[in-house]
Every structure is written in C-alpha cells, then in structure tokens.
Amino acid sequence: MTKKTLGLDDSLHHYLQAVSLREPDILKQLREETAQLPMSQMQIAPEQGQFMALLVQLMKAKKTLDIGVFTGYSALVVALALPPEGKVVGCDIDEEKTEIARRYWQQANVADKIDLRIAPALDTLDELIAAGETETFDFAFIDADKRNYENYYERCLQLLRPGGLVAVDNVLWSGRVADETVDDNRTQAIRSFNDKVYQDDRVSISLVPIADGLTLARKQ
Ligand code: CA
C-alpha cells in the first residue's frame, strides 16, 4: 500500500479503463476521429470526461461553460450529463475543429443544449458578464491557451454561482511544471496559475492527478 498517488503504467491504466470506463459509442467515435488530427493530444482523456460528467451530475448542474472546445469532446460529455433543459456555452476561435464538434453534437441529439460562440473566449466571457449572467453558471471547464488561464479563471469565478465549480485542465503539464530545467512561456503560465489558485481563499481546491492533471476549485 502507498499513501502517494500511484503512477499509472500502461497496464494499470488499461486496467483502470477496463473496470470503469463507460464511454458511449458517440464519444468513442469522436475520439477516434480526433485521433487522426495532428493536434489530437488536445483532446481530454475519456476517464477524465466521465469524471467531469459525474461531477456535473452530483452538482445537479444546468448551466456550464466550456472554454476551449476543440473537436467538442468535453462539451459533449457534459451535455450528455445535463438535464434536458441544461446548457453549455462553448468558447473557441477555430471554425474548422468546431465543425467536427457540431457534427457529433447533432448526432448525439444535444446540439440544442450547446451554444457555441466562435470568438476569443475572453470576449465571450466579458459579454456574458455584461449581459448580467454573473453568478448564474454551475460549472466551468478551462482547457484553452495557457497564457490566459488566469484571465479565464477570474471571469469564471464571476460567472459561477456560490458553490459552483471550475475545473482546469493540464495543470501537471506532462510533469514539466516540476522540471526546473523547463521554463518556456506556457509552462511558466501554468506554474503561475497553480500558485495563484493555491493562494486563493475565494475557493476550496483539489488538484486531481487524472490524465494531465485537473484542478477543481469550488467558489465559496
Ligand atoms: Ca487539455
């Protein structure tokens, strides 16, 4: 037994998926199509998607944000977990990748739950704030350009209701955050973000070492 989080080698990761992953076919198909793209590593792990769906169900969330849509996996897995009246506001600037997303959302019959805004996410978040949607969201997932993580996080805190949850992806950054020989801009941005959240007494937190690291921050 260990009190330290286990590192998962391939066989243990395979076992974890074999005894827990219940990925609907539509998500599996989307993952397989995305795997053909050069930037496929931007897609979240399926067990992470399932974990986020569970959180959304536990919270009885109805209104969520998806910042960094890519080919739509996280928005789809959350939309499938929401009640019929649930809504995801998706933010992305990439028309081409989100065209794949839209196709799968339609096939899964959740396209009417997802409001995709093609614009810089900060603009969309500022529009939502200006439109009076402050403190109306239950859940937000941040998985976009790392240099803006702190900006996305601040806006999400405004848009979330008290007790709402923000989930932030890639906070372990393939281990590079802990490697002192690495100091590129994106790694520095993630380190700086992690330090900020750690000091932030507006939220209760947990850094969950699932996939590439997922920070959960609950607004007090
Ligand atoms: Ca990611």
Instruction: Give the distance (Å) from ligand 1 centre to CA of residue 17.
Output: 19
Q: What is the mean pLDDT of residues 89-94?
A: 98
Instruction: Give the distance (Å) from ligand 1 centre to CA of residue 18.
Output: 23
Instruction: Give the distance (Å) from ligand 1 centre to CA of residue 1.
Output: 31
Instruction: Give the distance (Å) from ligand 1 centre to CA of residue 144.
Output: 7
Edge to edge, the sheet with strand 63-67 lists: 114-118, 87-92, 63-67, 137-142, 160-169, 214-219, 203-208
Instruction: Give the distance (Å) from ligand 1 centre to CA of residue 143.
Output: 5
Instruction: Give the distance (Å) from ligand 1 centre to CA of residue 45.
Output: 9
Instruction: Give the distance (Å) from ligand 1 centre to CA of residue 62.
Output: 23
Tell me: pLDDT of 3 over 90: no
- In one-letter notation, the amino acid at residue 208 is V
Instruction: Give the distance (Å) from ligand 1 centre to CA of residue 173.
Output: 9
Instruction: Give the distance (Å) from ligand 1 centre to CA of residue 70.
Output: 9
Tell me: pLDDT of 2 over 80: no
Tell me: pLDDT of 80 over 80: yes
Mean pLDDT of the chain: 97
Q: What is the mean pLDDT of residues 181-201?
A: 98
Q: What are the φ/ψ torsions at residue 167 (nearest 5 degrees)? A: -115, 130
Structure confidence by residue, pLDDT tens digits, 5-53: 989 999 999 999 999 999 999 999 999 999 999 999 999 999 999 999 9
Instruction: Give the distance (Å) from ligand 1 centre to CA of residue 42.
Output: 5
Task: Answer yes or no: are the C-beta atoms of 167 and 211 closer than 8 Å.
Answer: no
Spatial distance between the Cα atoms of 201 and 203, rounded to a whole number of angstroms = 5
User: For residue 186, which of 201, 199, 169, 163 has the smallest C-alpha distance?
Assistant: 169
The pLDDT score that the predictor gives to residue 49 is 98
Instruction: Give the distance (Å) from ligand 1 centre to CA of residue 32.
Output: 17
| Element of type H or E holding 176 | none
Instruction: Give the distance (Å) from ligand 1 centre to CA of residue 60.
Output: 24
The pLDDT score that the predictor gives to residue 204 is 98
Spatial distance between the Cα atoms of 69 and 91, rounded to a whole number of angstroms = 6
Instruction: Give the distance (Å) from ligand 1 centre to CA of residue 207.
Output: 15
